[in-house]
Structure 1
């Protein structure tokens, strides 16, 4: 697939926005509250599945090369950080959100909101077990899976719902404009 210059710029933009979202954080434990998911979901909604997930993959690659764009730095050793599983989840979430939104000619608030919620679920399906494994087996911090669910999922639900609402509000207004421009 050939990627147009405009698409490269948009992918880079959402890569940067996700990085910026990592620095807007509230530390509350192994996984801080950030704005990363807002930009991950918007990437899927506005860029589609391929380009949206590509922006998130590029974010991970840049961070693993050592540019400190993750919430706690960067570099190849970041794969041993308890939050790295959430970053992997960003790629899949953006892809799934993009697929769901693109199936509708004019996506509704509800469609975009539910796609965003599904994206959140995907991130936690990958992120929480990853965090649990890293904390217990790499960092040797003994923790039950139930405790990992509390600190790596439950505390984030209200914020993720709010972010999903914002994504849906913006998506309903911006997607039709983007599609009109791309015709």
Structure 2
């Protein structure tokens, strides 16, 4: 039992660290930069499952809010005022949704299930992130911005690439999913 807990915590920590690294692999765009974080979120939900995927993203968020500069523009409690903070919340919920959908696929979830899960995760991330951008700009940052401008900058500018990444990551993640689950089963059997 102890080995499986260590293995689980290690995976959560690795994916939290990978999300932080993904924040710095970015293409600057107005308001919402394109980063590779979403790929890590897809992998976290797909490979770790709903609970550990969520945990990995919560660890990442908490480390950043504690002050370590792991977000695209630094860190600290005031980061909740950044327009892009909603996407970070979306990452946590999205990872959970992805894992939840895949877990409902039985012992051998199909490729299609992985793709649907990642697309659902993408929807969740944008459903939380884009409205947060609008609220942040218009209410606490005093930068009046129309809903159509936010729609273009916080959704249209990156969603196409994210959908392609969701599909490609789903196909890749399915292979890793089976390898890691086999490793976890072996670790659990060793502790018996």
Normalised TM-score (structure 1): 0.95
User: 1: CA distance between counterparts of 2:155 and 2:108?
Assistant: 32
Deviations 1:42-71 (A, max 9, x none): 001110100000000000000001100000
Indicate if the aligned counterparts of 1:109 and 1:171 stay in contact, CA closer than 8 A.
Answer: no
Say whether residues 1:147 and 2:149 are aligned partners.
Answer: yes
Q: What are the within-5 Å matches in structure 2 for residues 41-56 of structure 1? A: 41-56=42-57
User: 2: CA distance between counterparts of 1:37 and 1:172?
Assistant: 17
Say whether residues 1:181 and 2:183 are aligned partners.
Answer: yes
User: 1: CA distance between counterparts of 2:26 and 2:174?
Assistant: 27
- Which structure 1 segments of 5+ residues have no match? none
2:134 aligned residue (132, 135, 141): 132
Q: CA deviation at 1:172?
A: 2.1
Q: Give 1:29's aligned residue.
A: 30
Q: CA deviation at 1:182?
A: 2.6
Normalised TM-score (structure 2): 0.91
Q: Give 1:163's aligned residue.
A: 165
Q: CA deviation at 1:141?
A: 1.1
User: 2: CA distance between counterparts of 1:112 and 1:150?
Assistant: 28
User: 2: CA distance between counterparts of 1:108 and 1:152?
Assistant: 31
4+ residue segments displaced more than 4 Å:
none
Q: Secondary structure at the match of 1:68?
A: coil
Q: Give 2:40's aligned residue.
A: 39
- Which structure 2 segments of 5+ residues have no match? 186-192
Indicate if the aligned counterparts of 1:22 and 1:36 stay in contact, CA closer than 8 A.
Answer: yes
Q: Which has the larger radius of gyration?
A: 2
Say whether residues 1:122 and 2:116 are aligned partners.
Answer: no
User: 1: CA distance between counterparts of 2:16 and 2:146?
Assistant: 34
RMSD of Structure 2 on Structure 1 (CA): 1.3
User: 2: CA distance between counterparts of 1:56 and 1:97?
Assistant: 13
